[in-house]
Chains A and B, each alone.
Chain A
Amino acid sequence: MAKSSLDKKFDQIRKREEEKTFSTKKRSRIVNKFLNNRLAVLGLIIFTIIILASIFAPLLSPYDPMRVDLRSMRQPPSFDHWFGTDSTGRDVFTRVLFGGRVSIFIGLGSAILSAVVGIAVGCYAGYKGGWIDVIALRISEIFMSFPQIILVLLLVSITGQSLFNLMAIFILTGWGGMYRLARARMLSLREEEYVQALRSFGLSTFTICYKHMLPNALSPIMVNITLSTAMFILTEAGLSFLGLGVPLNIPTWGNILNVAQDILILQNYWWMWGPVGIVISVFVLCVNFIGDGLRDSTDPSQQG
């Protein structure tokens, strides 16, 4: 009987499998899935552009973000000043670039660090259970029940405004959410039979919970990291807008927005707050797209 074309196709697949020509493709499985998600790729591109532009800010702009130039105050956007200048003649475009450095550092840094703390505690406590879990849970509740603004006010009044105070507060108030997420996933995962099987081999707690269970708990955490990056950037902007965040002389996206407190500027000089507002929104949106893409691509049981 003649082989159908489908049979031949299967034979070819089998042959390639035996020759292990599939192995190169396997490595990039996650990458492939991520690249198939158009929004995520778009997000990643814009995200990279903004980050690179911030890093290479001195090469992209001839101006000093701090230098006051009283001869060119409040100029609208032009070829010399792409986003115009502010009330003291500083180039807004340059300030947005340099501000990105600090804002992104605070946002990503706080999100990643609080995730690291939250995951480290949550995985272990969630897997082990018992009194470790109870204590960790109570501590996280204490931290989460403090209003962030009050904590910031408290610390600012004690130690003064600084970037690291802000990050410390973000981490202190942020790890609880990550911890709870990680713990909740671990609680359901530890009853899975593959975990029981690992235990029946007597593998160490660390190997079981950080190596074998964590990857399965990671996808909601990944999304949460991106969401909280966005949230921290917005909070930083909000706090700086109120004058509580990063010291005013350091350009951050929030500090640039700060000028919009003045009703005169809000009404007449849109370029001082408009572009930076858009940059913040676009960046936050991109980060969320990336988070979505990551979640879908790291889930091995989802095809796409």
Chain B
Amino acid sequence: MKKEILKLRGVKVHFPVQAGVFNRVVGHVLAVDGVDLDIFRGEVLGLAGESGCGKTTLGKAILRLVEPTDGEVKYISQDDNETELTSLEKKDMDPFRKKLQIVFQDPHSSLNPSFTIFGSLQDPLKKFGIKSKEERRKIIGDLLEAVNMRREYMDRYPHEFSGGQRQRIGIVRALCLEPELIVCDEAVSALDVSIQAQVLKLLMQLKKEKNLTYLFITHDLSVTEYLCDRIAVMYLGRIVELCDSEDLYNNTLHPYSEALISAIPVADLDKQTKRIVLEGDVPSPVNPPKGCPFHPRCPKATDICKTEVPTLKKYSTNGNEHYASCHLIDLPEIS
């Protein structure tokens, strides 16, 4: 039986756009515009989409690094207690900060250059009740070994490490309070391919050892294919398709996902793939197009797409739940 760890309901993050002498608010960037999403315990949920579609903002909104404008983020503990996170006071958030952690994209800015690794990692441990220095050193040392690094490295400065090593230190930081869910915000995008594989392997191994759940934010669908149990595809602040990762590749429902998948390079010269090239850019999230946000670029768009906003509907492919928001799907909807 799958149990949820996080339930997102109608999460919105709007950033005000200010202009003029008095910084009048002239509009909002609808970075995340109403996302419903369940994340199950122990799964790897991929969150894919092109840059600017709001994936990172959604990840940060879950941790309240960006305050959601609207909507609910519910955390469900192991003994089924539900807590709504967005309405909590700063202080009350602390126990949940321990459970939810994040690994960042850029290994070069994710470590404090003036502190040794131990120096920058020890404060969170201190805050969450590990008083003796020996104990803190032991925890960090053990974790460094868990990510295949030497224990002594904790007394070094970040500039002494390579990108891949820094990223592993970033993982150590996320792990140091024994979290349940880790948001991997493009955790491997800044690394070169051989190191990517190494870090991904490590992440999967840690997941097994520590019963972690990942929300894996990426723009690279070829990475998600092997990694994720389910994949959510985002476009312009909304989820357009959500399904098991196999179904996304074999039974694609949304035209946007189709276009993304067709863009994955295939290492086979004989195989002819039909490449769907999307015209134009992502529309501005300040005033998204009317109707389906994807219709100006959609090769299949019809009249209804221009006027009516599609909602995320449930279908079934291969006997699995498959959500998509498109008017043009001719499968029977499941309630």
Say whether, besides A20-B152, A301-B159, A216 and B112 are in contact (CB < 8 Å).
Answer: yes
B229 at the binding interface (Cβ < 8 Å): no
| A23 to B93 CA separation, bound complex (whole angstroms) | 38
B57 at the binding interface (Cβ < 8 Å): no
| A193 to B65 CA separation, bound complex (whole angstroms) | 11
Say whether, besides A202-B93, A301-B159, A193 and B120 are in contact (CB < 8 Å).
Answer: no
Instruction: Find out whether the CB atom of B102 lies under 8 angstroms from the CB atom of A200.
Output: yes
B111 at the binding interface (Cβ < 8 Å): yes
Instruction: Find out whether the CB atom of A216 lies under 8 angstroms from the CB atom of B93.
Output: no
B159 cross-chain contacts in A, Cβ below 8 A:
300-301
A138 at the binding interface (Cβ < 8 Å): no
A212 at the binding interface (Cβ < 8 Å): yes
What are the interface flags for A15-42 relative to B under an 8 Å C-beta threshold, 1 for contact and 0 otherwise?
0011010010010000000000000000
| A207 to B105 CA separation, bound complex (whole angstroms) | 24
A10 at the binding interface (Cβ < 8 Å): no
Interface residue from B104, B106, B120, B177 paired with A212 (Cβ < 8 Å): B120
A residues 42-56 in Cβ contact with B at 8 Å? none
B residues 57-111 in Cβ contact with A at 8 Å? 60, 63, 65, 90, 93-94, 97, 100-102, 104-106, 109-111
| A193 to B60 CA separation, bound complex (whole angstroms) | 12
Give the contact-size bracket for chain B: 20 to 34
Interface residue from A18, A193, A200, A203 paired with B109 (Cβ < 8 Å): A193
Instruction: Find out whether the CB atom of B114 lies under 8 angstroms from the CB atom of A198.
Output: no
Contacts A193-B104, A301-B159 known; 9 new A-B pairs at CB < 8 A: A20-B152, A26-B155, A192-B109, A196-B104, A197-B104, A198-B124, A202-B127, A215-B114, A216-B112
A-side residues, CB < 8 A to B, are: 17-18, 20, 23, 26, 192-194, 196-203, 207, 211-212, 215-216, 300-301
Could you jot down 20 A-B contacts, CB within 8 Å? Answer: A17-B152, A23-B155, A193-B104, A193-B110, A194-B109, A196-B60, A196-B104, A197-B110, A198-B123, A198-B124, A199-B65, A201-B124, A201-B177, A203-B123, A203-B127, A207-B123, A212-B115, A212-B123, A300-B113, A300-B159
User: What 7 A-B pairs come out closest when comparing CB atoms?
Assistant: A215-B114, A201-B124, A193-B110, A202-B97, A193-B104, A301-B159, A194-B112
B-side residues, CB < 8 A to A, are: 60, 63, 65, 90, 93-94, 97, 100-102, 104-106, 109-115, 120, 123-124, 127, 152, 155, 157, 159, 170, 173, 177
